[in-house]
Amino acid sequence: MNKLIIAIDGPAASGKSTAAKLLAQKLGYVYLDTGAMYRACALAAKRTGISMDDEGALVELMKDIQLEISFTASENQIFLACEDVSAEIRKPEISMLASSISRLKIVRERMVELQRRMGKEGGVILDGRDIGTVVFPDAELKFFLEAPVELRAQRRYQELLSKGQSAIYDEVISEMKQRDLQDSSRALAPLVAAEDAIIIDTADYGIDALAEELYRHYTQRIEGQKSIRLAPYSGFCFGVRRALQLALDAAKEYGKIYTLGELIHNPQVVEEMANKGVIAAKDTAALQEAIVVIRSHGISKEQLEQLSAGNNTIIDATCPYVKRTHELIQKANEEGYPVIILGDPRHPEVIGIKSYGDENTTLYEPGQELPALLGKKYCVISQTTQKLENLEALVNMLLPLCNDLKIYNSICLATRQRQNASEALAQESDLMIIVGGKNSSNTKMLANLCRKYCECLHIETEDELEESLFKNKWRIGIAAGASTPENRIIAVYNKILKINGSTRFASKLDDIPLFKEESC
């Protein structure tokens, strides 16, 4: 593979020059300090007594300037008319003049021309303030390094002292703030991060760690392919798979059957099922003497009674985990425990669970205020797709208020496994793609969990994916909700491969690299 052009931009003392040198040494690349070139121009103007406002004189200076750069293993040597000025251009007054002179069109045009000539063959790392936006906008790898101005001033202050130069911290930070303002507000090539730059706050890194972080991004880029991994336990859970199979078997036998509400929270699957004779009905009143499949979420006790009264043939596909919550709440009522149900009060599963309670049953949605308690005795039951942390938080709030607290952890094992695996993958990814119905509670929960660790996109189909989403995203994770079919996961994976230029695609779920379970 051809050697890359690597652009590293950022404000003064953000660490870009030192990191660039270390990375260049590691890669065997040439390091080009473009800022030194502008400093050399400023020094040339100062020596000849040219004002920064005298554009005509500066034009002539740029025509005749004798600027040469010698590349060593660790640094650039800058020569003006054969004189090594590498040390002199680092003085603070030259830094300020460099900021001023770099705002001029003639100076930038001349220096950009030289920089492009030096770097066009690749295998070069350039640092500056407009490398990724102006000099090499098509650079294969771009970084923008930043840090708080106080930290950058302290770095520059220590650097000056280490070189035996006199320095006052207050003056250093004042000059740095002024230069930041000049660089970011100039009309021509202002200091700004390129849209596709990888932004790194160097306050979080030592210099060696920073160089390693740049190298990590380089190795991902040079490999030429993105890492795309699937979280274990993605896709249909046992309850959904069972409900779909029962519905399909019934449709084959009877020709046309009904479900009360959508069988699962996935619009594409519901449409496919409708084409096979499985029709979603909106209410029980419309169902008389029909074949009715109760969906995996379950239904309320009142709806079940209405279906029976309509002389319907009922096929119960309620998920066993959900069915257990119906039994638990009735048992708690019999034992005299008022029940608090943890979950989304709008979700059909929660509506169904509540119907099996009594007048003392209340709902608690995560993040809401705790309902008023009727006494010191309570039972807690959870929606099966809730997050374990939500259950723990509710229990912790209740413990000081109750002297008799019964807790049923009714969160299904598959949900916990899926959530844990997705979170673990998110921590190792630059981008997570969560596949599943936008109205799916457990899929939305996955997206919310993964957003804590990286950028996350919740989609229903591969058609929602665009090339721009994957710029500088080299570690891509995929996770899918309990109502997402395998063919949809495969289609999403193949779309990412296609965007990345691959011509080999997955034909089955096993073809997709799985995030190792031992890592979860």
Q: Kindly name the residue from 349, 423, 460, 462 that is annotated as catalytic.
A: 349
Q: Could you please report the per-residue DSSP string of 180-216?
A: HHHHHH-SSS-S---TT-EEEEGGG--HHHHHHHHHH
Q: CA-to-CA distance for 16 and 195, rounded, in angstroms? A: 18
Tokens for 105, please give them.
Answer: 């069109």
512 near 490, Cβ under 8 Å?
yes
Q: Measure the CA–CA gap between 202 and 217, rounded to whole angstroms.
A: 15
The answer to whether residue 349 is catalytic is yes
Which single residue is written with the structure tokens 């210099």?
A: 207
Question: 166: which residues sit within 8 A by CB, 6+ positions away?
Answer: 160
Cα 406 to Cα 386: distance, rounded to the nearest angstrom = 18
50 close to 58: Cβ distance less than 8 angstroms: yes
Indicate the residue type of 223.
E
Helical pair 92-101 and 169-185, crossing angle rounded to 10 deg: 10
CB 6 within 8 A of CB 126: yes
132 DSSP assignment: I
Collapsing DSSP to helix, strand or coil, 207 comes out as helix
Greatest CA separation found in the chain? 102
**Vertex 327 angle, CA 326 and 331, to 5°:** 120
Active site residues: 349
